[in-house]
Amino acid sequence: MGRAALTPASPRRPPRPSARGAAVLLAMLLAALAAAIAATLFSDQQRWSRGVEYRRDQVQAQALALAAIQWTRQILDDDARTSTLDHPGEPWAFDLPPVPVENGDVRGAIVDAQSRLNINALGAGGAEERRGGERIARLFAQRGGPVAAIPALADWIDRDDLTRTDGAEDDAYARLDPPAVAANAPVIRTAELAVVRGVAAPALAAVTPYLAVLPGGTPVNVNTASPVVLAALVDGLTTDQWSAFVDGRARKPFTTVAEFRARLPEGARLDGEDGLAVKSDWFYVTIEARQGLSVARARALLFRGAGRASAVVWQTVE
């Protein structure tokens, strides 16, 4: 009997996935993709929603801050009807504590702008410029301000193009890179003074809290002026004398400038009563309003003329 021919065994192939297994895998991939898309859309929607809420709160906070400025106008007008003096013991002079409102609060303060020295006096000309310049020079010397730059500050503010001794007009600023010109006009914000030749930022910062930017001819209120400003008005007093003097003023505000002069301690030297007052027309207002996580800050300068409602001279909100 013949031997049967031997044939090699065929190699065994791995099993192919079933159609059902492929379908399950595809379904899982699609489900994962759908979940990823849904998560992305949800995240984007959450960011968009938070952005809308933040913007809404920001707008509401800004509106609240501006409304508070209008409210301070009413406070000052009420004060004008009941008082012939302005001093730190009056209601307008107390900081407004945080007042709760829906989803936030609002706070603020009114500051007598005439409690400071008016930098625009440097360019006023005549007796006002001389008197104001002497007071500003004393303030700068006492507080580390830019004393050497006072002539340049005056040239920046005055309306002519005549260069004072140690001053600076257009020719000095034309050599800068980029070239510039002197303003030759009263300033509106103390920050403008930073570009004046010879004014260093640290020196300007040292005196800014004691400077106001007001029209020429605006007097200093001796009832609200700080000890630092009073020391620029009056020579010859020590720190302890000023402390006792201010304590006495708090108990009994001055009713006239003549009374202020009469109550000065012995040894005080006042160059005159011109440019001084016991009542004010100009006030700075600062407001902070919060809505949710948004905060708005507003600032304004108010003018309260005799027999007229307070007016907003300028205001900013951010």
Q: How far apart are CA 144 and CA 149, in angstroms?
A: 12
Check whether residue 235 and residue 198 sit in a common domain: no
Domain end among 208, 235, 251: 208
Distances (CA, A) of 270 to 173, 260, 291: 37, 10, 49
| Both tokens assigned to 164 | 């004072």
pLDDT at res. 130: 93
Q: What is the mean pLDDT of the chain?
A: 88
pLDDT at res. 96: 87
User: Domain limits at 290?
Assistant: 61-114+281-317
- Give domain status of residue 53, yes or no: no
Give residue for tokens 């707008």.
59
Give residue for tokens 């595809």.
26
- Give domain status of residue 146, yes or no: yes
- Comparing CA positions, the residue from 210, 220, 247 lying closest to residue 89 is 247
- Comparing CA positions, the residue from 284, 285, 279, 286 lying closest to residue 305 is 279
Q: How many CB atoms neighbour CB 173 within 10 A? A: 19
Check whether residue 130 and residue 187 sit in a common domain: yes
Domain end among 179, 208, 237: 208
- Give domain status of residue 182, yes or no: yes
Q: What is the arithmetic mean of pLDDT over 65-90?
A: 94
Query: 3-state class of 151 per DSSP?
Result: helix
Q: Name the percent of the chain lying above pLDDT 70.
A: 88
Check whether residue 179 and residue 129 sit in a common domain: yes
* Reported confidence tier of residue 12, pLDDT bands at 50, 70, 90: low
Q: How far apart are CA 74 and CA 52, in angstroms?
A: 34
**Alpha helix locations (H) across 169-311?**
170-174, 201-207, 227-233, 239-251, 257-262
Q: What is the arithmetic mean of pLDDT over 51-57?
A: 74
pLDDT digits (tens, 9 = 90+) for 131-164: 999 999 999 999 999 999 999 999 999 999 999 9
- Give domain status of residue 289, yes or no: yes
Q: What share of the chain is helix, strand, coil (3-state, %, to 5)?
A: 45, 15, 35
More confident: 217 or 314: 314
Check whether residue 85 and residue 133 sit in a common domain: no
Distances (CA, A) of 174 to 168, 181, 287: 10, 6, 40
Check whether residue 290 and residue 228 sit in a common domain: no
Check whether residue 260 and residue 236 sit in a common domain: yes
pLDDT at res. 10: 54
Check whether residue 163 and residue 224 sit in a common domain: no
pLDDT digits (tens, 9 = 90+) for 175-215: 988 999 999 999 999 999 999 999 999 999 999 999 999 99
Task: Report the interhelical angle of 150-157 vs 126-143 (nearest 10°).
Answer: 140
Q: Name the percent of the chain lying above pLDDT 90.
A: 69
- Comparing CA positions, the residue from 249, 203, 206, 217 lying closest to residue 230 is 249
Going by C-beta distance under 8 Å and a sequence separation of 6 or more, which residues neighbour residue 248? Answer: 263
pLDDT at res. 48: 55
The amino acid that residue 279 corresponds to is: K
pLDDT digits (tens, 9 = 90+) for 36-50: 776 666 666 666 556
Interior/surface letters 201-211, b for 16+ CB within 10 angstroms, e for the rest: eebbebbbebb
- Comparing CA positions, the residue from 74, 67, 73, 55 lying closest to residue 101 is 67
* Reported confidence tier of residue 238, pLDDT bands at 50, 70, 90: confident
CATH no. for residue 169?
Answer: 1.10.40.60
pLDDT at res. 26: 73
Q: Where are the beta strands (DSSP E) in 32-114?
A: 96-101, 104-112
User: Considering its fold, how many domains does the chain have in total?
Assistant: 3
pLDDT digits (tens, 9 = 90+) for 86-118: 999 999 999 988 999 888 999 999 999 999 999
Check whether residue 149 and residue 203 sit in a common domain: yes
- Comparing CA positions, the residue from 212, 88, 79, 49 lying closest to residue 139 is 212
pLDDT at res. 16: 58
Check whether residue 85 and residue 136 sit in a common domain: no
Domain end among 173, 208, 243: 208
pLDDT at res. 272: 85
Q: How far apart are CA 8 and CA 245, in angstroms?
A: 121
Q: How far apart are CA 143 and CA 81, in angstroms?
A: 37
pLDDT at res. 3: 52
pLDDT above 80: residue 1:
no
- Give domain status of residue 152, yes or no: yes
- Comparing CA positions, the residue from 117, 148, 133 lying closest to residue 222 is 117
Check whether residue 68 and residue 146 sit in a common domain: no
| Both tokens assigned to 117 | 């020295």
